Homo-oligomer: A and B are copies of this chain.
Amino acid sequence: MSKIRLTKRYTFETGHALYGYDGKCKNVHGHGYKMFVTIIGEPIQDSDHVKHGMVMDFGDLKKIVKEEIVDKYDHAIVFSKNSPHKELGETLKEKGHHVILADFQPTSEMLVLHFADIIRKRLPENIELYSIKLQETETSYAEWYASDND
Contact = CB atoms under 8 A, between A and B. Distances in A.
Interface stretch (A87-95, A108-116, A119-127): A108-116
Given A3-B148, A107-B53, A23 B143 contact: no
Interface string A117-150: 0000000000000000000101111111100110
Nearest to A137: B58
Question: Quick one: copies of this chain in the complex?
Answer: 3
Interface of A: 2-10, 18, 20-23, 38, 40, 43, 47-55, 57-59, 82-83, 104-110, 112-113, 136, 138-145, 148-149
22 contacts: A4-B142, A4-B148, A6-B143, A7-B142, A7-B143, A8-B139, A8-B140, A9-B140, A20-B49, A20-B50, A21-B51, A21-B52, A22-B51, A23-B59, A38-B143, A43-B109, A47-B82, A52-B105, A52-B107, A53-B105, A53-B106, A53-B109
